[in-house]
């Protein structure tokens, strides 16, 4: 069975398992405990924090360990917006886009519903590209945060984050980048963002590990209250093994990023060309060139995406129709709808995403995909 749903989750790397294993065994101290075992754990946590900070080009004090990308997004969007509102004494305004991950969009919905904040959701073009000028036009005097995905998890479109950062900086508004899908493929340091969300299980660390890198000077209201861990930004006993795993995976991903991206891009482009040749009615979604190196997403009119996926699995290929966080929903993808794709066509989507170490051609996968599409069409 060939697994090609790496945007949903990746396997834990052997080096990461080896690095974290001692902290699942004898080195089990609580970093907050004031004895030798706890102090050793605290030193390990500090080391992991410094390693993450170095890889991201931020200060160690900026690194907050979380339970994953969803928590990191929630903490960034809710924490920064509520922190700004508390400082100003009034509800504030948030700018995001229509194609964000559910963790960002649901956080914005919460801010509207519970706190009375205003939210502007900027539209995108047919390729899923966000116009920095549209973001600039959406910013108001009471805007407290701009939250944008670095690269889209469904269609792979990569945003012009440098221009978005310049727009936010000119307006004096913090920029949060959801970089969960970008990690291991795109540069993370030097984006100009004030906050960056990451998930360990996208880069070879276990599920349930993540980081929010957020400038320590920004007012950040915690979502979890208790013992005041993570500089009062995220209470709860730290996941020591998870922090070590995340730091190890991030270092490996950064060291291999350029080679992994070049290899995946070549494999992806050959795969896309073969699919489009075999299935002339297929449509590649997302930006044709400014996209994640390991992502190819298509729609196949006259099919059902879920039926095609079942046919593909029968042929030994496991992949997905889009975001794993929306799996099981009968609703068409909000990302594809925002790109102007109709609901019926949106439900025919199939997404193939490579691992960072994938090294074999995808000709057989393209052939299996074409055969699966043909089988579904013939049965309708």
Residues with Cβ within 8 Å of residue 93, at least 6 apart in sequence: 117, 118, 119, 120, 140, 142, 143, 144
User: How many other C-beta atoms are found inside a 10 Å radius of the C-beta of residue 140?
Assistant: 14
**Residue 251 to residue 371: CA distance in whole angstroms:** 40
Residue 95, strand partner residues:
120, 146
Q: What is the CATH number of domain 14-253?
A: 3.40.640.10
Q: Which two tokens stand for residue 87?
A: 């400082």
Provide the greatest CA pair distance for the chain. 69
How distant, in Å, are the alpha carbons of 54, 219, 293 from that of 263?
A: 25, 41, 8
User: Which residues in the chain are classed under CATH 3.40.640.10?
Assistant: 14-253
Asked about 339 being catalytic, the answer comes back as no
* d(C-alpha 62, C-alpha 50), whole Å: 10
DSSP 326: G
Give the residue ranges of the chain where pLDDT is below 70: 323-329, 380
For residue 46, the model assigns a pLDDT of 98
> Smallest Cα–Cα separation from 158: which of 176, 182, 175, 180?
182
Token output for 216? 């320590």
Report the length, in residues, of the chain: 380
What are phi and psi for residue 76, nearest 5 degrees? -65, -55
How far apart CA 268 and CA 146 sit, in angstroms, is 31
pLDDT of residue 379: 84
Are 297 and 157 contacting, i.e. CB atoms less than 8 angstroms apart? no
Alpha carbon of residue 127 to chain centroid: 18
Beta strand 143-149 with 93-97 is parallel
Measured CA to CA, the distance from residue 103 to residue 77 in angstroms comes to: 9
Sign of CA pseudo-dihedral 183, 186, 189, 194: negative
Angle at 197 between CA 42 and CA 265, to 5 degrees: 120
Please, which residues have CB within 8 angstroms of residue 306's CB and are 6 or more apart in sequence?
321
pLDDT of residue 331: 85
**Which residue is catalytic, options 24, 325, 337, 374?**
325
Q: What are phi and psi of 210, to 5 degrees?
A: -170, 180
Inter-residue contact 236 to 94 (CB < 8 Å): no
pTM of the model: 0.96
Contact between 210 and 65 (Cβ < 8 Å): yes
Q: What is the CA radius of gyration of the chain?
A: 21
Which CATH number is 2-6+257-379's, of 3.40.190.10, 3.60.21.10, 3.30.465.10, 3.90.1150.10? 3.90.1150.10
Beta bridge partners of 211: 65, 198
Q: Per-residue b/e over 177-195, b at no fewer than 16 CB within 10 Å?
A: bbbbbbbbbbebeebebbb
> In this structure, are residues 208 and 9 in contact, taking their beta carbons and an 8 Å threshold?
no
**φ, ψ at 195 (rounded to 5°):** -150, 145
For residue 234, which of 215, 211, 206 has the smallest C-alpha distance? 211
CATH 3.90.1150.10 in the chain, residue ranges: 2-6+257-379
Nearest to 96 by CA among 175, 193, 157: 175
């Amino acid at each position: 069975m060939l697994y090609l749903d790496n945007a949903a989750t990746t396997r834990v790397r052997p080096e990461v398992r080896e690095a974290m294993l001692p902290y699942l065994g004898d080195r089990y101290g609580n970093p907050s405990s004031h004895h030798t075992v706890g102090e050793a754990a605290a030193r390990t946590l500090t080391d992991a924090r410094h390693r993450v900070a170095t890889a991201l080009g931020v200060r160690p004090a900026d690194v907050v360990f979380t339970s994953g990308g969803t928590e990191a997004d929630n903490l960034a969007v809710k924490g920064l917006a509520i922190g700004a509102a508390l400082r100003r004494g009034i509800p504030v305004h948030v700018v995001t886009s229509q194609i964000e991950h559910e963790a960002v969009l649901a956080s914005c919905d919460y801010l509207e519903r519970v706190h009375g904040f205003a939210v502007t959701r900027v539209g995108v073009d047919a390729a899923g590209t966000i116009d920095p000028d549209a973001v600039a036009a959406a910013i108001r005097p009471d805007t407290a945060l701009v939250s944008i995905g670095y690269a889209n998890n469904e269609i792979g479109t990569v945003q012009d984050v440098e221009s978005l950062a310049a727009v936010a900086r000119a307006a004096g508004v913090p920029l949060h980048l959801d970089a969960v899908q970008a990690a291991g493929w795109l540069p993370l340091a030097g984006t100009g963002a004030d906050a960056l969300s990451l998930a360990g299980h996208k880069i070879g660390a276990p599920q349930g590990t993540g980081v929010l890198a957020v400038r320590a000077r920004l007012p950040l209201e915690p979502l979890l209250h208790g013992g005041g861990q993570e500089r009062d930004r995220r209470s709860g006993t730290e996941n020591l093994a998870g922090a070590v795993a995340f730091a190890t995976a991030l270092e490996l991903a950064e060291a291999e990023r350029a080679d992994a991206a070049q290899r995946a891009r070549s494999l992806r482009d050959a795969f896309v060309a073969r699919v489009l040749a075999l299935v002339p009615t297929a449509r590649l979604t997302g930006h044709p060139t400014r996209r994640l190196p390991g992502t190819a997403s298509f729609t196949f009119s006259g099919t059902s995406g879920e039926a095609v996926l079942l046919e593909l699995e029968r042929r030994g290929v496991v992949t997905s129709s889009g975001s794993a966080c929306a799996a099981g929903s009968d609703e068409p993808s909000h990302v594809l709808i925002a790109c102007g794709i109709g609901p019926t066509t949106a439900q025919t989507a199939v997404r193939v995403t490579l691992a960072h170490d994938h090294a074999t051609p995808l000709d057989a996968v393209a052939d299996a995909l074409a055969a699966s599409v043909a089988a579904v069409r013939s049965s309708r």
